[in-house]
């Protein structure tokens, strides 16, 4: 590949190949087949650092490329990108989701923003650093990881449990963040410093079987379940103004009145009435434990009063919140029905990294150069990424990237796991330059 200072065509080419590999992870062990993209990336990075491939299940490979640092006391940095993507429904797409066509400066395809764009730009940055003779003081690691889209079971989770020394780094950068939010003081770039936890809960509702022809005063589990769902949907837990929310709002330079309302638990929900619905949903999720009833299974036959219904509720917890606290909220929502049902929950708590770190300072310095007039703001991710495993292992992990103004946050949010996913080439080049600059600044 010929080399110019402009990384655009190189990162575009690599992204196209990653998209065409269609490493679709549908949650089954046999899906994903990330081996194809590991082979692609290992070939692209041939001669760069030390390579190690891990394969905990057939086809579920992850690649570690390491540029060993010269100073064992210097901090280490990992750039981590997943190679798997979520399934598509091609009916909703106006382009072939795996053709990776380029039109008007945009690359189209599944994974274009989640997150093959960043995986490709990380690999290109590493290649460019190595080719320039970069010899870091602290170890620089690139991890192309499998299975992010299905809880990291055969990817980051497995690697930290079984190969911790091979993958652990003091600082970890992975998706997503870094889209430009316009403000009166210039663009703000969210750094995802924390992620909400999941507290997925199953609620079993019991009743007494009977004949559907005589419903008078029956103990119908479906009717009780409907009331359980209604109470959960109506539940209004308190607004929680935590540190990353406060710093986000303060960094956004809203009108003083808006800032005050967004930091006041009493007025927060009223303030959301003025905000577009997509943003309102996100901000609400950033400041509340959320409860979404999502699945109901019950009943067997039209003429039978059901004696058993099972509900699933997607509960998302805030930083610092324990399972006991989440259970207490769920029971509060159910009121006098709490004792009449069985609740089983799986607690995967929220994770957070401090904001006051050398990695933050590095990002602030490098983005100030790459994106004029910008400043960082901390942000809470309402979903989960592989960062949670690294934060629990002791790393400072942030979600970041860098996007041009051509990719608005609203579009980005809709494309994540959505239809017509695409990324502009300027964003690809910006992210490539970002990773290079970050590596030079933090471990160089
Ligand atoms: Zn992702």
Q: Which H or E run contains 39?
A: helix 35-44
Each residue's pLDDT tens digit, 153-172: 999 999 999 999 999 999 99
Query: At 376, is the pLDDT very low, low, confident or very high (cuts 50, 70, 90)?
Result: very high
Beta bridge pairs of residue 198:
316, 348
Determine the distance separating the centroid of ligand 1 and the alpha carbon of 176, expressed in angstroms.
8
Q: Contact, 242 vs 318, CB < 8 A?
A: yes
Determine the distance separating the centroid of ligand 1 and the alpha carbon of 312, expressed in angstroms.
24
Query: At 3, is the pLDDT very low, low, confident or very high (cuts 50, 70, 90)?
Result: low
Q: Which of 56, 54, 115 is nearest to 81 (CA)?
A: 115
pLDDT of residue 4: 67
Determine the distance separating the centroid of ligand 1 and the alpha carbon of 114, expressed in angstroms.
4
Handedness of CA 44, 86, 78, 249 (dihedral sign): positive
Q: Which of 36, 92, 45, 88 is nearest to 64 (CA)?
A: 45
Q: Contact, 332 vs 289, CB < 8 A?
A: no
Each residue's pLDDT tens digit, 267-292: 999 999 988 888 899 999 999 999 99
- Share of residues in the chain with pLDDT > 70 (%): 99
pLDDT of residue 355: 95
Determine the distance separating the centroid of ligand 1 and the alpha carbon of 82, expressed in angstroms.
7
Question: CA–CA separation, 358 vs 371, rounded Å?
Answer: 20
Question: CA–CA separation, 360 vs 339, rounded Å?
Answer: 47
Count Cβ atoms below 10 Å from residue 239 Cβ, excluding itself.
17
pTM of the predicted model, to two decimals?
0.92
Each residue's pLDDT tens digit, 78-89: 999 999 999 999
Q: Which residues surround ligand 1, an ion (CB under 5 A)?
A: 114-115, 175
Determine the distance separating the centroid of ligand 1 and the alpha carbon of 79, expressed in angstroms.
14
Each residue's pLDDT tens digit, 311-356: 999 999 999 999 999 999 999 999 999 999 999 999 999 999 999 9
Determine the distance separating the centroid of ligand 1 and the alpha carbon of 418, expressed in angstroms.
12
pLDDT of residue 279: 86
Q: Is the pLDDT of residue 7 over 50?
A: yes
Q: Which H or E run contains 143?
A: strand 140-145
Q: Is the pLDDT of residue 412 over 90?
A: no
Determine the distance separating the centroid of ligand 1 and the alpha carbon of 175, expressed in angstroms.
6
Q: Which of 109, 114, 176, 118 is nearest to 421 (CA)?
A: 109
pLDDT of residue 278: 82
Determine the distance separating the centroid of ligand 1 and the alpha carbon of 395, expressed in angstroms.
19
Query: At 2, is the pLDDT very low, low, confident or very high (cuts 50, 70, 90)?
Result: very low
Residue-level length of the chain: 444
The CA distances from residue 249 to 182, 192, 321, 378, in Å, are 13, 14, 21, 9
Stretch 169-179: mean pLDDT: 95
Determine the distance separating the centroid of ligand 1 and the alpha carbon of 216, expressed in angstroms.
51
Stretch 5-10: mean pLDDT: 96
- Share of residues in the chain with pLDDT > 90 (%): 93
DSSP label of 303: T
**The tokens of 331 are what?**
């029971």
Each residue's pLDDT tens digit, 100-141: 999 999 999 999 999 999 999 999 999 999 999 999 999 999
Q: Which H or E run contains 279?
A: helix 277-286
Q: Contact, 393 vs 157, CB < 8 A?
A: no
- CA max distance for the chain: 82
């Amino acid at each position: 590949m010929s080399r110019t200072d402009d990384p655009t065509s190189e990162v575009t080419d690599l992204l196209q190949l990653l998209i065409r590999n269609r490493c679709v992870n549908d949650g089954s062990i046999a899906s994903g087949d990330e081996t194809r993209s590991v082979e692609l990336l290992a070939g692209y990075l041939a001669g760069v650092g030390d390579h190690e491939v891990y394969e905990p299940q057939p086809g579920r490979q992850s690649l570690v490329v390491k540029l060993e640092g010269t100073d064992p006391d210097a901090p280490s940095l990992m750039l981590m990108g997943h190679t798997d993507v979520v399934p598509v429904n091609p009916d909703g797409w106006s382009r072939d989701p795996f053709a990776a066509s380029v039109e008007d400066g945009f690359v189209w395809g599944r994974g274009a923003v989640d997150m093959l764009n960043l995986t490709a730009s990380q690999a290109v940055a590493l290649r460019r650093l190595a080719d320039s003779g970069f010899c870091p003081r602290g170890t620089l690691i690139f991890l192309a990881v499998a299975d992010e889209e299905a809880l990291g079971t055969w990817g980051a989770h497995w690697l930290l449990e079984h190969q911790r020394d091979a993958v652990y780094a003091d600082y970890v950068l992975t998706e997503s963040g870094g889209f430009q939010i316009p403000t009166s003081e210039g663009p703000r770039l969210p750094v995802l410093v924390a992620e909400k936890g999941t507290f997925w809960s199953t609620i079993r509702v019991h009743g007494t079987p009977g004949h559907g022809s005589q419903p008078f005063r029956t103990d119908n589990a479906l009717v009780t379940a409907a009331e359980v769902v209604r109470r959960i949907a109506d539940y209004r837990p308190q607004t929680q103004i935590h540190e990353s929310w406060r710093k986000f709002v303060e960094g956004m330079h809203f009108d003083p009145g808006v800032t005050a309302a967004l930091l006041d638990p009493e007025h927060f929900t009223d303030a959301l009435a003025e905000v577009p619905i997509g943003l309102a949903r996100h901000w609400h999720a950033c400041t509340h434990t959320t409860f979404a009833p999502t699945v109901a299974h019950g009943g067997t036959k039209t003429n039978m009063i059901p004696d058993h219904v099972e509900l699933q509720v997607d509960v998302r917890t805030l930083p610092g919140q324990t399972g006991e606290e989440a259970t207490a909220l769920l029971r509060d929502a159910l009121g006098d029905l709490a004792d009449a049902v069985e609740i089983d929950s799986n607690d995967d708590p929220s994770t957070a990294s401090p904001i006051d770190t050398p990695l933050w300072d590095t990002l602030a310095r490098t983005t100030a150069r790459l994106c004029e007039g910008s400043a960082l703001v901390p942000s809470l991710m309402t979903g989960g990424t592989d960062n949670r495993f690294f934060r629990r292992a002791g790393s400072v992990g942030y979600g970041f990237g860098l996007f041009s103004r051509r990719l608005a946050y609203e579009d980005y949010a809709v494309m994540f796991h959505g239809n017509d996913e695409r990324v502009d080439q300027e964003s690809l080049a910006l992210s490539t330059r970002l990773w290079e600059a970050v590596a030079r600044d933090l471990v160089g």
